[in-house]
Structure 1
Amino acid sequence: MSLTKERIEILQKRILLVLNKQDNWNVKMIKFLNNGVVNAVFILKEESRGILIARTPWRLDESIGNLHSNEDVASLNKEATIAKHCFNHGLKVPRVIYLHLSKEINFLVSEYIHGDESTISAADIGNLVSAIHKTPLKGLSIIDQENRSFYNIVSSRIVERVSTLNKLLSTNLTVPSIKEIEETLVMTKTDHCLIHLDIRTPNIIRYKGEIKAVIDWDNAFIGDPLMELMRILETREIDILEFQKGYNNDNILISSSLPNSTLYRLDTALMLAILFTTYIKDNVKGQYYLQRSYYLSNSLKRSL
Structure 2
Amino acid sequence: MKHRVERTTADIALAVAARRGADSVTLAGAGTEFLFYETTSSEGREGYRIPRSLEFNTVNNNAVPAELLQLQEMALASWATDNGIPSAAPKELVEQNGIPVLILEIVDDDGSELDSAALGSVVASIHRSPLPGFQLVAQEGRPWAVRLRHRLEARYTDLRRHHSLPILPPSASLQAELEAGAHEPCLIHLDLRRQNVRVDKGQPLSIFDWSNALAAPPELEIARVEEYSAVKENGLDYAAFLNGYFKGGGSIDVGTASWPIFTLDAAVMLAGVFDSISPNPELREHYLSRVRALVGEL
- Class of the TM-score when normalised by the shorter of the 2 chains: 0.7 to 0.9
- Residue type of the partner of 2:252? I
Q: Contact 1:152–1:178 (CA<8 Å) still a contact in 2?
A: no
Distance in structure 1 (CA, Å) of the matches to 2:279 and 2:132: 41
Alpha carbons of 1:297 and 1:92: their partners in 2 closer, same or farther (altered >3 Å)? same
Classify the secondary structure of the residue corresponding to 1:109.
strand
Distance in structure 1 (CA, Å) of the matches to 2:238 and 2:268: 21
- Decide which moves more: 97-106 or 218-227: 97-106
Distance in structure 1 (CA, Å) of the matches to 2:176 and 2:93: 38
Q: Contact 2:135–2:141 (CA<8 Å) still a contact in 1?
A: no
2:233 matched residue in structure 1? none
Alpha carbons of 1:132 and 1:251: their partners in 2 closer, same or farther (altered >3 Å)? closer
- Residue type of the partner of 1:253? D
Q: Contact 2:182–2:253 (CA<8 Å) still a contact in 1?
A: no
Classify the secondary structure of the residue corresponding to 1:216.
coil
In structure 1, the gaps of 5 or more residues are 1-6, 64-68
Distance in structure 2 (CA, Å) of the matches to 1:97 and 1:162: 39
Distance in structure 2 (CA, Å) of the matches to 1:81 and 1:273: 30
Alpha carbons of 1:11 and 1:193: their partners in 2 closer, same or farther (altered >3 Å)? same
Classify the secondary structure of the residue corresponding to 2:253.
helix
- Within the candidate set 31, 34, 43, 2:38 is matched to 43
Q: Percent of counterpart pairs with the same letter?
A: 24
Alpha carbons of 1:205 and 1:247: their partners in 2 closer, same or farther (altered >3 Å)? same
- Within the candidate set 280, 287, 290, 1:289 is matched to 287
Matches within 5 A, 1:96-245: 96-101=90-95, 104-137=98-131, 139-145=133-139, 147-167=141-161, 169-237=162-230, 238-245=236-243
Distance in structure 2 (CA, Å) of the matches to 1:250 and 1:132: 9
Count, aligned residues: 284
Shift of 1:200: 1.1
Classify the secondary structure of the residue corresponding to 1:97.
strand
TM-score by length of 2: 0.85
Distance in structure 2 (CA, Å) of the matches to 1:108 and 1:15: 11
Classify the secondary structure of the residue corresponding to 2:258.
helix
In structure 2, the gaps of 5 or more residues are 58-62, 231-235
Distance in structure 2 (CA, Å) of the matches to 1:232 and 1:107: 29
Bigger helix share: 1
Shift of 1:267: 0.6
1:268 matched residue in structure 2? 266
Shift of 1:46: 2.9
Deviations 1:160-187, CA, capped at 9 Å, x for gaps: 11111123x2434421344432222112
1:11 matched residue in structure 2? 9
